[in-house]
Amino acid sequence: MEIAQLHQHFLEYPVVCTDTRKITNNCIFFALKGDNFNGNSYASEALNKGASLAVIDEKEYALSDRYILVEDVLRSLQQLATFHRNYSKAKIISLTGSNGKTTTKELINAVLSKKYNTIATKGNLNNHIGVPLTLLSIQPDTELAVVEMGANHLKEIEFLCSLAQPDFGYITNFGKAHLEGFGSEQGIIKGKSELYDYLIYNGKPIFINADDPVQVDKLGDYIKKYGFSTENHEYYQIEFLDANPFVRLKAEDIEIESQLIGSYNFTNCAAAVLMGKYFNIPLADIKSAIENYVPDNNRSQIIEKNGHRIILDAYNANPTSMKAALENFNQMNGKNKVAFLGDMFELGETAAEEHQSIANLVSNLNIQHTFLTGENFARSNGSIEKFESFDLLSAFLKENPLQEESLVLIKGSRGMALERILDLI
């Protein structure tokens, strides 16, 4: 079936589903394949649960005219998303980066929605499936769509740009994330900068952190760049006030107090301010949007429990974000500081070196107790308490619970699921 025809079906049934556990009435089910499953075999179940149509790519599963046979389901989903993106009148703002993508996306969406009808990537659905699903969530009245793009290897952002065809773009930073896939820090810069390459080639505006020398260097004299800076008066001035514990900043004569901890969240807030100004949103509305944004989903959350103040930042971790979180934690006021740190994933050959670097850093900080968990941390040198698995940490905490009121940091990669520590405190 031609994509234009498929899009006509989509306009009639404008909800897409790829999981039979989440079927809604009159959605279109796309029978994607994975390493351990064949979506085609679930097509009939999807229809029985209420899907209007099922898009499949294996002829033997086509049992009626409610099955749409295509050559490749994933590719059809991606092509449909791009077709719909061009069919709509929405402008696309794409962002990527090593750290802070999801928080920045949420802040930008909060600010822009003060004036415009917006949609944004849900959660972190930012890959070759998530980006198409985001594009297909664009409604007839959507004016701006904030699309997060993730990548763990070269050419991935380039491909996602070919799908989303962004009108604007922003890169949060270039940090040590997914070193296994990118190969090196230079590989990370090259991979993330594929967003710049697309926007420059197409003459589109780019937002930048003008205090980041890498971003400034990559864009050179590109005329359609709009930046924020704490120092360079060629760009929009945003002042960092403090982060004890919440980030406070100042734009023009307006002070903004966020509900985000850590100085590393300053640039995330500043990017949202910059885009709000670009899109002519009053600074008072920008302030309101940022101040009312509350992080969730294990991202920089502050939780009070049993007399302890807990910083839960267990959604993900890499060497750059781990270092920033620890340095911020070191500066916070607290008599008894306790850090629970979990392994950082996807570091490839640098894993041992990067975990040892973090262990060395912790040893030099004003943190009273640190617990390192995971196979990589367990192999690090030093006198810090180490546990090869979460089960071993759990057993230890059950026998040795935190006694006095503490300021606690919980930080680790998603696969470590360190939020489980909350049940042990």
Give the tens place of pLDDT for each residue, 126-168: 999 999 999 999 999 999 999 999 988 889 999 999 999 999 9
Q: Apex CA 73: angle with CA 68 and CA 78, to 5°?
A: 115
What is the model's pLDDT at position 177? 60
Q: What percent of the chain shows pLDDT beyond 90?
A: 80
What is the model's pLDDT at position 174? 87
| pLDDT of residue 178 exceeding 70 | no
| pLDDT of residue 176 exceeding 70 | no
Which one, of 146, 117, 152, lies nearest residue 207 by Cα? 146
Residue-wise pLDDT for 292-339, tens only, equals 999 876 677 888 999 999 999 888 888 988 998 999 899 888 889 999
For the domain 3-70, what is the CATH code? 3.40.1390.10
Confidence tier at 12 by pLDDT (50, 70, 90): very high
- pLDDT average, residue stretch 357-371: 94
E strands of 78-122, at which residues?
A: 91-96, 118-120
Tokens of 82: 């791009």
> 131-135, 169-173, 243-247: which range is least confident on average?
243-247
Residues carrying CATH 3.40.1190.10, the chain: 88-291
- Classify 88-291 by CATH class: alpha beta
| pLDDT of residue 373 exceeding 70 | yes
| pLDDT of residue 183 exceeding 80 | no
Question: Do the strands 308-313 and 301-305 form a parallel or antiparallel pair, or are they unpaired?
Answer: antiparallel
| pLDDT of residue 264 exceeding 80 | yes
Which one, of 326, 320, 314, lies nearest residue 361 by Cα? 326
What is the model's pLDDT at position 263? 87
How many residues in total does the chain contain?
425
For the domain 301-424, what is the CATH code? 3.90.190.20
What is the model's pLDDT at position 112? 98
Confidence tier at 180 by pLDDT (50, 70, 90): low
Confidence tier at 262 by pLDDT (50, 70, 90): confident
Determine contact, residues 219/206, Cβ cutoff 8 Å: yes
Between the two ends of the chain, the Cα-to-Cα distance in Å is 56
- pLDDT average, residue stretch 249-253: 96
Which one, of 367, 147, 110, lies nearest residue 259 by Cα? 110
Of residues 124 and 90, more confidently modeled: 90
Residue-wise pLDDT for 205-238, tens only, equals 999 999 999 999 999 999 999 999 999 999 999 9
Residue-wise pLDDT for 335-357, tens only, equals 899 999 999 998 988 999 999 99
| pLDDT of residue 179 exceeding 80 | no
One-character DSSP codes across 131-173: HHHHHTT--TT--EEEEE---SSTTHHHHHHHHH--SEEEE--
One-character DSSP codes across 188-230: HHHHHTHHHHHHHHTT--EEEETT-HHHHHHHTT-TTEEEEES
Q: What are phi and psi of 271, to 5 degrees?
A: -65, -40
Residues carrying CATH 3.90.190.20, the chain: 301-424
Tokens of 26: 């009159």
In eight-state DSSP terms, residue 71 is: S
Residue-wise pLDDT for 57-112, tens only, equals 999 999 999 999 999 999 999 999 999 999 999 999 999 998 889 999 999 999 99
Determine contact, residues 94/192, Cβ cutoff 8 Å: no
| pLDDT of residue 169 exceeding 90 | yes
| pLDDT of residue 175 exceeding 80 | no
